[in-house]
Amino acid sequence: MPREVDPSLNRRRLRIELRKAREATGRTQTDAAKALEWSLSKIMRIEAGTVSVSVTDVRALIQHYGVTDPKLVAELEDAARGSKGQSWWTPWNEVITPGFRSYIGYESAAASLRTYHPIVVPGLLQTEDYAAAVLRPRVEEARARKIIELRTARQERVLDLDASSPQLSFILDEAALHRQVGGPQVQRNQLQHLVDMAAHPRVSLQVLPFTKPAHYATQTSFILLGFHDDEDLLHMEHRGQTTGDDFELIVRYQECFEWLRESACTTESSIDLIARIREGIDTT
């Protein structure tokens, strides 16, 4: 059964369609705000997808922009009704930074996620024990438990076999396979989990071997989020930032990911490498 549409996805639909409708008229955000006698910040928040929108406000906007397609009008009114309420991640708000809150909303709507991490296994592929070991040196225990709960909930949603779930491409640096986060047994279990996840129908998993040279993201983890109805977004974990405005930077990371994909081991060779490293870990 398809999951209920999260309010953040309805806000995103309104953001995209209302921005397109405004741009089609040649009006700026300032023009729209003056014509409707609204504050500029109200228009900006609606187009950023950060606030719910009333049906009355949607009707005012689409009338001002000249949107007359009955089907689109009905869909936008329905999206406005569904833009209110709490998002699925609300129970973990206390451990979500403002930057990550923006990202997690986009993650819920993405058609594809392309992820590279040079040091550790990416969060969406971490076991609970591995995640706890990553967090332990810098996060107190109670907060770490909440973060792990959120991470597990993300994994369940993103790795769901529902048709709306994204395609996932992961490239791990070989260093992440050797670093025994949490000790030998935790690392062995984590590597087995990677082998298991590589069989998931929505997952592509590759390893960048030590023999490959430095590249644009050698010291940087990143995620490229792809959408059917919008441009790619770039999330940089070290900055806590998700951006779609810096086109040149996004292109650099798109090119970097393609280089990584071509330079990394094939999925089959990557699984073999992971299995060999796992077997070589001494847990006695």
Kindly report, residue by residue over 131-187, the tens digit of the pLDDT: 999 999 999 999 999 999 999 999 998 988 676 689 999 999 999 999 999 999 999
Q: Does the reported pTM lie above 0.85?
A: no
Residue 18 lies in a domain: yes
pLDDT score recorded for residue 1: 40
Classify residue 90 as exposed, middle or buried by CB count within 10 Å of its CB (0-12, 13-18, 19+): exposed
Query: Are residues 194 and 267 both part of a single domain?
Result: yes
Average the pLDDT over 6-17 and give the result. Answer: 86
- If one counts every other C-beta atom within 10 angstroms of the C-beta of residue 196, the result is 11
What's the rounded Cα separation, in Å, for the pair 15 and 20?
9
Residue 33 forms part of a structural domain: yes
pLDDT in tens, 20-65: 999 999 999 999 999 999 999 999 989 888 788 999 999 999 999 9
Angle at 251 between CA 17 and CA 215, to 5 degrees: 150
Residue-level pLDDT at 4: 60
Residue 24 lies in a domain: yes
CATH code for position 23:
1.10.260
192 Cβ contact list (under 8 Å, min separation 6): 278
Specify if 230 maps to a domain: yes
Give one word for 85, left, alpha or beta, with left for phi > 0 and alpha for psi -120 to 50. left
Residues 69 and 184 in one domain: no
Residue 205, helix vs strand vs coil: strand
Q: Are residues 73 and 99 in the same domain?
A: no
CATH of the domain at 130: 3.30.870
Across 8-12, 32-36, 105-109, 279-283, the highest mean pLDDT is recorded for 32-36
Instruction: Answer yes or no: do 234 and 109 share one domain.
Output: yes
- For residue 257, give its domain range: 90-279
Residue 71 within any structural domain of the chain:
yes
Same domain assignment for residues 159 and 248? yes
